[in-house]
Structure formats: C-alpha cells, structure tokens
Amino acid sequence: MMATPSSLVFTVRRQEAKLVVPAKLTPRVHLPLSDIDDQEGLRIHVSFINFYGGSLFQSDRDPVKVIREALSEALVFYYPFAGRLREGPGRKLIVDCTGELGILFIEADADVTLKELGVPLRPPFPYLEDILHDVPGSDGILGSPLLLIQVTRLTCGGFIVACRFNHTMCDGAGLAQFLNAVGELARGHRKPSVPPVWERNLLNARDPPRVTCTHHEFDESDVGAPLEDLVHRSFFFGSAEVEALRQLVFSDQLGRRCRSFDLMTACIWRCRTIALGLEPNEDVRVLFAVNARQKYKPNLPTGYYGVAVAFPAALTTAGMLCTQPLDYALKLVMEAKEDVTEEYMRSLADLMVLRGRPPFSGARSFFVTDLRRVGFEDVDFGWGKAYAGIARSGFGVLPSQVMRLFNIYVSGKNDKDEDGSLLLLSLPPTAMKVFEDELQRILKHGYHIQSTL
C-alpha cells in the first residue's frame, strides 16, 4: 500500500546553498521601499511550493541547471531581489543593491516520485523542511537574502521548486510576476514579456500625511497569548459546499452580490470564533488581503511588483458573530472588502508614517488571504504548468510579538478529482476539533467538508 504523505519517509540529498548573482552588471543604488511595503506586519518570510511532472520532451534537460541560469538572467531585470535590506531613519526599509550579492539557491535530489507525495497533492505538506531547507541565518529581515529557492529532482523525472521570499519586497502577485519572468527566460525568451516596474514612490505617504479612513486592522489591542501546539489542516470547498453556504443566506441582495470568498470567510470566521471559546463581549476581527492594483486611478503601472494589497478588518463581538445568522458575518466581510479604495490606500500609507508602522491588531484576529488567482500555477520553466500551493498555513510569526497566523485559500482538488478551494487553517488541537464539528453542523444539508491532516 502506498505511503500517505504524512507517513512518507524519503531521503533528500542537498548540496550547499550558493548565491545566484545577476548574469550581468546591475546598478549600484539604494532603493527605498514604499510605505505600503515596509509595514511591520509584512516583515516576515513566506514559503510556497510548485510541483512539476516530468516531460519526455525535456528528458535531456536538467531543471536545476535550467532554473538556476534563468534566475541569474532574471536578476538582471529584477536586480533589487539580489540586494539586502537595511533600515534608514524612522526604520524605513531600503534595498542596498551592491551588484555583488544574490539570492540563495539549493540543488537537491529526493528518492521519491511525485505520485508518492500524494494524489491529489494537497497541503499542508509535512515534508516542507526536506524540500525547502532553512539555511541557518538566512531568515532575517535585515541583511539576509530576499529569496531562497530549492529545486529538488524526483526519481520520476519531475521536480519541486520551493521558494521563500521576504514579504516586504513584494506580494503574491509581484512574486508570481518575477517567477513567470524566470519561466520565460528558461524557455528561451530574451527578456520578460512584462518589464518590471519599481516606482515604489507611488505608494508612499502624502505630504503632509492625513488618515482619512477607518483602519480597524491597526486598532490597539492587548497582546493576547500566542497560540501554541498548532495543528495544520486543509478543508476542501467545492461547488456543493459553496452552494450549501449560499442556501443559508436569507437576504436575496446579499446572496446575489456575494462571492465564494465572502461566503467561505464569513462561515470560517464564525466557526473559528466558536472553536476558540471567546467571551461574548470580546472584540473579534477578520483581516483579509485585498489586491488594490486596480483601485488606483489611473491603475498602478503594469509590471509593478511591490506590495499593493491592504488588509481591511471587519469588527464585531464574539457574541454577535456566534449568535447571529450567517448574513450578519457575510455583510461585515463584504463591507470591509468594499472599503478598499484608492483613498483607503493613501490613508493606509499615511497611517504608517504617522503611527510609526504599527503592527496588525493581533488579539482575537483571524487573518486569511486568497491565493487562488495569483498565478503561481502558471509558472512554466519548460515542463508545463505546475500544481502550486502555499506549503501550509501558519506563516507570519513575528519575533517578540503575538503570533499572527495567515490562513490561506488555494486552488485544489478533492479525492474525487473535483476542482475547488482548499482552506489551509491552523488552530490548537482542541479548537480544531470543535471547528470541524461546527463546520459539519452548519453544512448539515448533506454536504461534506473534507479535512486532511
């Protein structure tokens, strides 16, 4: 019987991490990040994984060599990724581009096939440490490599590309843009089809700065206790599960306007709050990423790869959230999402400057981000498109602060090969069991939510 991913044991042979530097000389400059980029809450490293099957047409090509050379060529265009961050006055983050540094790259081989890793592939991936080596001293925010990439060959001819990136340099869309450029160069293009645009000044604070919008995501709150001994699970939401949630919406207007993200987030926020057993009068928030690239008039330039997302917060009390119909939470989520306008983003940048880049409100906050349409799966190094996914939920542990856990939606399949969405969630073991039970209760119309270890 095939080993399950959670019990699979395999050997990974890694070579020493080496720097990949730009293939040509690049400018020696100091580039400040924007006031949206260098938020305290984004000073974290985020990991994701792309899986690729073998190809008869590429059997004579080594993916490690192809990707390493393409990365070197891409860094000519995206040379800030080869730099290092330092702090200027007021803790302003600046990229020090010396022309001599680069990104960390690891070559590896694993005695396992893609099929043995799980069919369908579904996070959380228990073998993350094997296919993305945590190079000692590489995970700092200042003075550390901004990208770490490990390419692991599999015995079936497939391979894995695992990446860890500094979130202040880019958001998911920005990183996907860079990796797609690497893929184009790996396939023989002379330059990226979308030229990179730096122009971080476009998202800087105004002069003078003025906060004109409400930003509950930065409300001052008590620190709260870190969530320890977390378990990481994924839950599948297909068309049947989403339709079951839609049937619970009483308001025709909300039902017509809401999207699957709104429905799932409202439901999960409610179930999670019940699972944590909070007091009725305690404030609770849900924060989620909203891509603001199209909110600006005119839009941000095509090719802009800096952080261009906001994390608006819906706010209520645990008692109201847990006792009101789903419509209540759904309306809060939709209103918070609609709050993100160009003025909201301007106000956000101004708030960062006026309040010294405050952290996100942590206590009793639920963070979720949607990566289903970011484009990681489109990255093609010559072997076709990938199965893409964040390694697991729970990234975003900020030193000396309460743990902020980003829970994630990615595209995925269930055991019946049906397409849908996977929620990657992290909770303490007892709370996770209550969450699962509550989710099943809400979907009591006969639809089943699949949970995977």
Catalytic sites, residue numbers? 167, 380
Give the residue ranges of DSSP H helices in 362-416: none
With beta carbons less than 8 A apart as the criterion, state whether 393 and 232 touch.
yes
Tell me which residue of 226, 211, 448 sits closest to 349, measured CA to CA: 211
Q: How far is CA 337 from the centre of its chain?
A: 18
- Would you state the structure tokens that stand for residue 238, as one six-digit string? 């297909």
d(CA 67, CA 73) in angstroms, rounded, equals 10
* CA distances from residue 300 to 67, 74, 291, 312 in whole angstroms, order as listed: 29, 22, 11, 20
- Omega before residue 192 within 30° of 0, cis: no
Burial of residue 441 (number of CB atoms within 10 Å: 0-12, 13-18, 19+): exposed
Q: How far is CA 155 from the centre of its chain?
A: 29
With beta carbons less than 8 A apart as the criterion, state whether 242 and 264 touch.
yes
Strand order through the sheet with 93-97: 29-32, 93-97, 84-87
